Amino acid sequence: MSLLITDECINCDVCEPECPNEAIYQGDSIYEIDPNKCTECVGHYDAPQCVEVCPVDCIPLGIEETHDQLMDRYLHLTGQA
């Protein structure tokens, strides 16, 4: 499972441009994260950039996927797999 934006999102627009995988998009009422594109910034940064910039902390860190699983997704998305 990738990161998830909770309903505390205030649609401030700061997370979307920070995502290196373009996994964040405007949903019906709040921003959402495409789980097929989210690598929690593994392969790009040391920490998820959306979490770093969110002013209301509406993107809690999960421990559902391992670093290896996230790296595999990164390699697939970047054509390195």
Identify the pLDDT of residue 1: 67
Sorted by where each starts, the structural domains of the chain and their CATH numbers stand as 16-77 (3.30.70.20)
**Run means of pLDDT, 10 residues per run, the chain, 81 residues:** 91 97 97 95 96 96 84 93 72
> Cα 76 vs. chain centroid, distance in angstroms?
16
Question: What is the pLDDT, as a whole number, of residue 81?
Answer: 72
pTM: 0.87
Q: Residue 5 has what pLDDT? A: 96
